[in-house]
A and B are shown apart, each in its own frame.
Chain A
Amino acid sequence: KQEVTQIPAALSVPEGENLVLNCSFTDSAIYNLQWFRQDPGKGLTSLLLIQSSQREQTSGRLNASLDKSSGRSTLYIAASQPGDSATYLCAVRYNFNKFYFGSGTKLNVKP
Chain B
Amino acid sequence: DTGVSQDPRHKITKRGQNVTFRCDPISEHNRLYWYRQTLGQGPEFLTYFQNEAQLEKSRLLSDRFSAERPKGSFSTLEIQRTEQGDSAMYLCASSLRVDTQYFGPGTRLTVL
Contacts and interface: CB of A to CB of B under 8 A. Distances in A.
Interface of A: 4, 31-32, 34, 36, 41-46, 49, 89, 91, 93, 96-104
Contact of A46 (B35, B41, B58, B102): B102
Contacts of A91: 42-43, 101
Given A43-B105, A46-B102, 14 more contacts: A32-B98, A42-B105, A43-B6, A44-B43, A45-B2, A45-B103, A89-B43, A93-B98, A97-B48, A98-B33, A98-B48, A99-B45, A100-B45, A104-B41
A93 B44 CA distance: 13
User: How big is the B interface, by class?
Assistant: 20 to 34
Contacts of B42: 4, 89, 91, 101-104
A89 B89 CA distance: 16
B79 interface: no
B40 interface: yes
Given A91-B42, A101-B44, A34 B100 contact: yes
B25 interface: no
Interface in B51-66: 55-56, 58
Given A97-B48, A97-B56, A103-B41, A43 B2 contact: yes
Nearest to A51: B98
